[in-house]
Structure 1
Amino acid sequence: MHMYCLNLMYASHPLTWVENLFCCIKVFESFRFQVTYNTLCLSCVGFGLHSSFYIYIEYNNRRRMADGQDPKIDELNEELLVIILSYLSVKEAAKTCLVSRRWRYLWQYTTGCFEIYDRDKKSYSRKSPCSFMKLVNQALVLHQGPTLDQFRVGFCYSGSWYMFDHWVKFAIQKEVKLFELDLAADSWQNCGGWSQYDFPDIERLSSGDNDKLKFSRFCSNLKSLTLVNVSVMSSACLCFRRLENLKVTGPLKSMEISRCPLIKGLEVDASNLESFTYIGPHIEIPFRNVDQLSELTIGQGYCFSFICKPDKHASYSSKLRKLKLMVRYEVDCPYNFPVLDNLRELELDIQLYAGRSLHYFTLFTKACPLLSSFIARITYTNILYDEIFASPRQFEHNRGVHKHLKLVKLIGFTGCVSDYELVLHFLEIGGSLEEIILKRTFDHFHQKINGMAFIGEQIKQLQANCPAGVKMVLTFVKLRYGKWV
């Protein structure tokens, strides 16, 4: 009797890992030894993309298989096959039902990631949400596994009698660690408007004794909760009171709260939190014990607080390495700026009237001495004819040279005074600038501004002011699903 060990590094796509496992088993079978799969065991060292999986296979070298008899992977017991398939998403695992009759239902017992999104829909008729709902409900009924690691579902909810309480209950019953319910998975224009869904009182959904046990485990296991276009009423929040003393074995590294207009307060205390997203009204958010926080995305009212009242955010802003600001309309230039001593990447998503100044954001770079990448997406919401060619409001000019800025990317460039002055100023201060990318759009509204601004002449002037060694790239993009692509 002998024991062999296979060491597989899970450093690529899960399907590749499974294929590698089967290939290794085939190698053992090619020795024509009778492999006793009932003694095969799987152990994991580490977690994530760099895990090592050790497969121990015991075989008897005295029992050779008869010539001409092909060994079969199907000799693996079903429990092991389900464990292997659980490293795939449920959608990927379902494809293995075509392997053989025995494999037909194995995917239904997997415990990996259950994700169903309707992102690819190009048009939204009344039948489309209904069809998607049926698809999700059928998939939920088919899944027979006791637990799931992740449950993600999303589509464009434009308002109807549809209810999603049973989706929430499914997440509770499966004791998921990551739950994502995105009811704004497409742009407002494509789905004809968004309507909010009222999040249910999940204690009410867990009335039975077994359901209460599942609910308790759900609360203790939950590591990530994402609700998009979902209204959480105060009555529904009562069930989360017990989460005040929640202890999770795994560290919370990412948190997102968006489109929750009724939220009144939030406290963040997470020593391992690395990424935080909040898009909503201005509220007090005390940040405590967030030494690892390096990525921040903020929008709406809270974004203005970050820009105009930087002293309130000084406790964590100096640690940020990546910052995304979603700014709507014009920002008044404050007297001081946030402290961003470690910031490397600044990303802006801006909506404003054509002709209004963007000069504040060039001054913003003064607070980012280590900034290497500046990306801005600009959407113009109205044409102010008198201001298309007007000079921007006069702010104090940033006369210094930025020593680390290497990339400037502007999406939605029209050549009007707003973005033209922004690009020109970066050419002046970018002492180490290597590349500047200007993306024009095919959007009808932007094309109208392009014609007014004589964009060809503006580009020639920018090229004339472009320092030697700086690469200027001009490309075209268009709106797709409400986003620049």
Structure 2
Amino acid sequence: MGMKEAAKTSIISKRWRYVSTKATHLDFNPSIIFPYFNLKHSDRCFSSRAIKKKYINWVNQVVNLHSSPCIDKFTACFGFERRKMDARHIDKWVRFAISKQVKNIELSCVRLRNSFYTLRFDDIIDSSSSGIRFLQSLCLKSINVSGDILEYVLEQCRFLERLHIEVSPTLVKLKVVGLCLKLKHLTISDCFSLKQLEIEAVNLVYLQFDTFEKDHWSNVVFKNTPNLVDASFAASRVSYFTPIFLQNSHLAQISRLSLRMQLDVLSAGSLPTFCNLKQLTIMVDYWFEDELIACINQFLKACPNLCQFKVEFIDLVEVSSFEEAYQLNKSDSFSDDDEEIGDYNMELDRKVHPNLREFQVSGFCGRFIDVELILFILRISCNLETIICECHHGHSVAEEVTQVIRSRADKLVKLIPPKISLVII
């Protein structure tokens, strides 16, 4: 029984009040006891001393009375200030989970006054048992953790298959190395102090690495990742991580790749040939459009067997209002008699992509560049079957603007051959 179901039964009858003390899935999601809790604004919620105290008391009550010898999962999302009392509670929860031979741990820190909880060696080394060796998944978000601790976990946890580290300022150096590692999923995201990363994991299937510092990419080393098929990278510029592709032959074998970046035109030979790549997603800042098609052309030439391709425009929320963005781009929207569409001032690859079957553009607004992109894909794809036009932008916009965008998307029917299915979302 999960924590949510346990909370419901405790309300129905006093006999079930302590049912959560026997649960093996301890998911302390704040929304269970705070119905109106919003994870997007969790810092505002936990800034209330009363809410934070109630959450701590709830977790402590279950931890103190828990009677099962083992637990499968321990998840906590907590507000943290730079106070010894806050750290003591979290230290206690970590030691409790390890003593129960936990298989999955997920800790998410909501930083109050920019404070980070620090995971220490004393928290993970349990002198009374070797509970940590049963760990299969470790996820730490906005928590200070050192490379030494993570390397200790990798050494001791022979069953560990998933490691997710997100926003950890104290992570400077990390070696994910070991012939006996069962690690399949590795995520290192927004660790801005990380200066050296070495990966040698024969069972690794998925890798996500995000860093926006150029120097950090020069110290990333892949030695032995023969089973890596799915990768996601984010960088400030395309040119930051392209040398990684050339220096590490194992990356050329991946079948699914996601890239978030600002665009720049690459020099010849900057990309290897991704012979096995079937799915490619490129996420790009909405306002960086000058090099869009030229850069995409370079990537597509490097992916001869690509089947699914997606371009996602991001960071629209940085505009003061979507209405402002719409007004700004009224002038470059297309019309039925637009003769300039398709006139490129750059040298593009005219060879067809016989394997490309599906193209999706997310964040479509009906700007000139949006339509140019779709027409470019039509020009190079001889067997394209589906175009997905996603008009949803991830945040609220005025109904009038939504209708204008959808009407622009509807006009695509006149530009797309009948044999190609157009899906408007």
Q: TM-score, normalised by structure 2?
A: 0.71
CA distance in 2, matches of 1:378, 1:224: 32
Aligned residues: percent identity? 24
Counterpart for residue 390 of structure 2: 439
Aligned residues of 2:80 and 2:86 also touching (Cα < 8 A): no
Give the match's secondary structure for 1:332: coil
1:333 to 266, 276, 280: 266
1:217 aligns with 2:131: yes
Counterpart for residue 264 of structure 1: 195
User: Alpha-carbon deviations, 1:88-132, whole Å to 9, x = none?
Assistant: 433335545578665542431222353526574575674455425
Aligned residues of 2:135 and 2:159 also touching (Cα < 8 A): no
Counterpart for residue 471 of structure 1: 421
2:58 to 138, 143, 147: 138
- Aligned pair count reads 367
Aligned residues of 2:106 and 2:140 also touching (Cα < 8 A): yes
Counterpart for residue 29 of structure 2: 116
1:180 to 101, 106, 109: 106
1:248 aligns with 2:158: yes
CA distance in 2, matches of 1:268, 1:355: 34
Distance 1:194 1:361, change over 3 A: farther
- CA positional deviation for 1:448: 12
Distance 1:334 1:128, change over 3 A: same
1:200 aligns with 2:115: no
Give the match's secondary structure for 1:212: coil
User: Alpha-carbon deviations, 1:155-199, whole Å to 9, x = none?
Assistant: 7x6977694563354133222332222347xxxxxxxx9875434
Please show how residues 367-446 of structure 1 align to structure 2 within 5 Å. Answer: 367-379=302-314, 380=316, 394-441=345-392
Please show how residues 452-471 of structure 1 align to structure 2 within 5 Å. Answer: 460=411, 462-471=412-421
| Amino acid in structure 1 at the alignment position of 2:131 | R
CA distance in 1, matches of 2:80, 2:373: 37
CA distance in 2, matches of 1:312, 1:446: 48
Distance 1:249 1:195, change over 3 A: same
Distance 1:274 1:94, change over 3 A: farther
Distance 1:134 1:457, change over 3 A: closer
User: Alpha-carbon deviations, 1:431-462, whole Å to 9, x = none?
Assistant: 222211222357689999999x99967863x4
- CA positional deviation for 1:362: 3.5
| Amino acid in structure 1 at the alignment position of 2:263 | E
CA distance in 1, matches of 2:93, 2:252: 41
Counterpart for residue 35 of structure 1: none
- CA positional deviation for 1:237: 4.3
Q: TM-score, normalised by structure 1?
A: 0.63
1:351 to 266, 275, 285: 285
Aligned residues of 2:356 and 2:384 also touching (Cα < 8 A): yes
Aligned residues of 1:308 and 1:334 also touching (Cα < 8 A): no
User: Alpha-carbon deviations, 1:135-158, whole Å to 9, x = none?
Assistant: 254134314144332222337x69
Give the match's secondary structure for 1:369: coil
CA distance in 2, matches of 1:447, 1:356: 29
Counterpart for residue 172 of structure 2: none
| Amino acid in structure 1 at the alignment position of 2:121 | E
- CA positional deviation for 1:296: 0.9
Please show how residues 27-38 of structure 1 align to structure 2 within 5 Å. Answer: none
User: Alpha-carbon deviations, 1:345-386, whole Å to 9, x = none?
Assistant: 11222214254231112431222222222222203567798x
- CA positional deviation for 1:299: 1.1
| Amino acid in structure 2 at the alignment position of 1:174 | A
| Amino acid in structure 2 at the alignment position of 1:182 | S
CA distance in 1, matches of 2:407, 2:382: 26
Counterpart for residue 256 of structure 2: 322
Unaligned 5+ segments in structure 1 are 1-87, 185-192, 476-485
Counterpart for residue 210 of structure 2: 279
| Amino acid in structure 1 at the alignment position of 2:55 | L
Counterpart for residue 174 of structure 2: none
Q: Decide which structure has the larger Cα Rg and report it.
A: 1
Give the match's secondary structure for 2:391: strand
Distance 1:136 1:346, change over 3 A: farther
Aligned residues of 2:56 and 2:89 also touching (Cα < 8 A): no
1:152 to 75, 90, 93: 75
